[in-house]
Amino acid sequence: MKSENIKNVVKEKYTQIARENNANNPSSCCGPATCCGSNLEVSMIGDEYNGIEGYNPDADLGLGCGVPTEFAAIKAAQHVLDLGSGAGNDCFVLRTLVGDKGHVTGLDFSEEMVAKARQNIKKIGYSNMHFVTGDIEAMPLEANRFDVVISNCVLNLVPHKNKAFTEIRRVLKPGGHFCVSDVVIKGQLPEKLRADAEMYAGCVSGALEIDEYLETITKSGFHNIEVHKQRSIEIPGNILKKYLDENDLKHFISGDKGVFSITISAFKAS
C-alpha cells in the first residue's frame, strides 16, 4: 500500500473515531474495547489513566498503548509537544506537569480530532494549550521549539518512521528528548497480516520490528535510548488463526514472535 493511501486510511479511521461517542467506539485502535475494527476484534492495550493528575475523561478516547508522561521527566515551565494528540488526553496530563508557565501543543492529522480537543480546552479554560492540524512527517512547526516531545500509540501508524523521528529531532531544542509509547513486533509477521488495510488503522500492520525501530531512532540522530517499559499484547488464538499458519502460531504463542507495547525515550544532542 502506498504511503498516501495508508495516511488516508488512518485519517478516515480516526476521523470516524472522533465523531463517535467514547462509550460506544467500536473503531478504537488501541483502546480497551477492540483493536483494528471489524477485521480484527482484539481486547487490548491501553494503560490505566484513572488517578493520574490532570486526567480528563472527556479527552480519553481509549487510543493509547501506554502512559508516556509517566517516564517523560516533564518539568514545570517546559514547552511540550504531543504527536497524534487526539482529543487531548495526554495533553491535559502534560498541562498539569508544566504548570501555568509552561505550554502544551497537540498535533493531529484529523481536523475532527483537533476540533474535539479544542472543545475540551474550552470546558476547562486553559490558555497555555493549543492544538494544530498537521502531518507528523512534515510538521507545521518551527525548529528547536520544544523541550520534550511525546506520543502515544501513533508513530506505528506513520508510513515513514525515519521521517517522523527526523521531524521530532528538528522540532526539539538542543538537549531535548522524546518519550513515546508505541507498538512494535518481534519476528516477522506474515505478509497477509501486514497487507490488511484495516490493520494500518489498528496498531499492528504499521509497526516495525523492535530492532528496526531502535535502529531508526539511532539513524535519526538520537542518543541515550532507553526502553522504560515493554509489555506483550495478548491476542486470542482464535484471532491469530485467521492470519497465521500452525508454525507461525506456535512461535507467536511461545514469545519468539509477537506484538508488544513499549515506552521509549531518547535525546537530541546539546
Residues 77-131: tens digit of each pLDDT: 999 999 999 999 999 999 999 999 999 999 999 999 999 999 999 999 999 999 9
Question: What is the average per-residue pLDDT within 206-220?
Answer: 93
Q: Phi/psi class of residue 20: alpha, beta or left (left: φ > 0; alpha: ψ in -120 to 50)?
A: beta
Sheet architecture: strand order including 146-152: 129-133, 103-108, 79-83, 146-152, 172-186, 258-268, 222-232
Residue 191 pLDDT more than 50?
Answer: yes
- DSSP H or E segment with residue 263: strand 258-268
Question: What is the average per-residue pLDDT within 226-238?
Answer: 83
Which range has the worst mean pLDDT, 10-14, 212-216, 253-257? 253-257
How many folded domains does the chain comprise?
1
Residues 6+ apart with CB under 8 A from 131: 85, 88, 91, 105, 106, 107, 108, 114, 117, 118, 121
Could you give phi then psi for residue 262, rounded to 5 degrees? Answer: -130, 150
Please give the residue range of the domain that contains residue 140: 3-268
Residues 9-67: tens digit of each pLDDT: 778 888 888 887 544 444 444 444 344 443 433 334 567 788 899 999 999 988 888 99
Q: How far apart are CA 134 and CA 139, in angstroms?
A: 6
Question: What is the average per-residue pLDDT within 139-148?
Answer: 98
Higher-confidence position of 156 and 137: 137
| Nearest CA-CA partner of 80 in 174, 2, 146, 25 | 146
Higher-confidence position of 258 and 98: 98
Q: Map 8-54 to HEC letters.
A: HHHHHHHHHHHHCCHHHCCCCCCCCCCCCHHHCCCCCCCCCCCCCCC
- The one-letter amino acid at 113: M
pLDDT of residue 150: 98
Q: Calculate what percentage of the chain has a pLDDT beyond 90.
A: 57
Angle at CA of residue 207, ends 204 and 212, nearest 5° = 150
Q: Say if CB 232 and CB 185 are below 8 A apart.
A: no
Per the structure block, which three cell numbers stand in for 206? 504499521
Q: How far apart are CA 211 and CA 243, in angstroms?
A: 23
Give the CATH number for residue 264.
Answer: 3.40.50.150
